[in-house]
């Protein structure tokens, strides 16, 4: 442990639903961790493209509005040290763009962020989870990140566990999204019946294993190309594929 690394005991980390009070700190976790070190961010050169990072911050803030994202707070220092930006997904009609497609087409200002959105759209299109599991709503763990100085303390695992717990509470009606979709009162929102995630690194894949997710699909990073090079060219051999995983709730 280096001189600047915090000592963290298990009880020091609490998991909260995202709160706008912590907006700037939550964005800092993305800036210091996710955008620089997450595999697909490296594959699509988001790590090298500040404008792409700004686009994806906007995506996270838009998603956070729905109130199903989670943050990890280091209690002694009141610091946000991890985030899980989650989104409730419902099937789109055959002619309708889904949420990620709309974001790619209307809000991405940069080829790098568009490439990352296209990765998410492609991964989601490979297996129709709604049809496969006969569900009308799922909670997708979209972006999961821990500050580098807090890695190795189980923060990611806690965020995923609590995201699953929130999905169960949404399903049972014990919890509601903070903002229901237009035309829905908080009592009638569509409730998730499944939790899904695309885990892009060996590290997040181990988290999924610990929390009891089932692997549905595995896709090599060599399948995705940005700027004439495959994602795997930039990522290297340590993290060769992404997996789509689900957990029943």
Q: Where do the domains of the chain lie, and which CATH numbers do they carry?
A: 13-175+188-248 (3.40.630.30)
Which single residue is written with the structure tokens 């838009």?
A: 62
Which one has a higher pLDDT value, 210 or 4? 210
Q: What confidence tens digit (pLDDT) does each residue in 38-66 have?
A: 999 999 999 999 999 999 999 999 999 99
Nearest Cα residue to 43 out of 245, 243, 242? 242
Q: Identify the three-state secondary structure at position 23.
A: helix
Which one has a higher pLDDT value, 179 or 197? 197
Displacement of CA 21 from its chain's centroid (Å): 20
d(CA 224, CA 141): 21
CB atoms within 10 A of CB 17: 17
Q: What confidence tens digit (pLDDT) does each residue in 1-32 have?
A: 444 555 667 689 999 999 999 999 999 999 99
Over the chain, what is the mean pLDDT? 93
Contact 162, 141 (CB under 8 A): no
Environment class of 111 (CB within 10 Å of its CB; exposed 0-12, middle 13-18, buried 19+): middle
Provide φ and ψ at 127, rounded to 5°.
-135, 120
d(CA 66, CA 211): 24
């Amino acid at each position: 442990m280096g001189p600047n690394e915090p000592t963290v005991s298990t009880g020091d980390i609490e998991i909260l639903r995202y709160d706008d009070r912590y907006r700037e700190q939550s964005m800092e976790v993305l800036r210091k961790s996710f955008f620089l070190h997450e595999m697909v961010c490296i594959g699509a050169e988001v790590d090298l493209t500040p404008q792409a990072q700004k686009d994806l911050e906007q995506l996270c803030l838009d998603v956070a509005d729905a109130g199903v994202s989670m943050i990890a707070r280091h209690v002694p220092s009141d610091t946000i040290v991890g985030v899980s930006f989650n989104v409730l997904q419902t099937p789109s009609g055959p002619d309708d763009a889904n949420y990620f497609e709309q974001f790619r087409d209307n809000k991405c200002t940069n080829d790098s962020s568009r490439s990352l959105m296209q990765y998410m759209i492609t991964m989601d299109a490979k297996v129709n989870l709604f049809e496969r599991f006969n569900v009308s709503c799922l909670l997708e763990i979209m972006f999961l990140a821990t500050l580098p100085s807090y890695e190795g303390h189980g923060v990611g695992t806690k965020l995923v566990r609590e995201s699953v717990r929130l999905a169960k509470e949404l399903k049972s009606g014990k919890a509601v999204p903070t903002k229901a979709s237009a035309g829905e009162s908080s009592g009638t929102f569509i409730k998730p019946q499944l939790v899904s995630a695309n885990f892009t690194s060996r590290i997040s894949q181990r988290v999924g294993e610990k929390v009891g997710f089932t692997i549905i699909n595995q896709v090599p990073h060599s399948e995705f190309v940005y700027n004439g090079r495959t994602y795997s060219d930039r990522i290297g051999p340590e993290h060769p594929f992404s997996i789509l995983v689900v957990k029943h709730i």
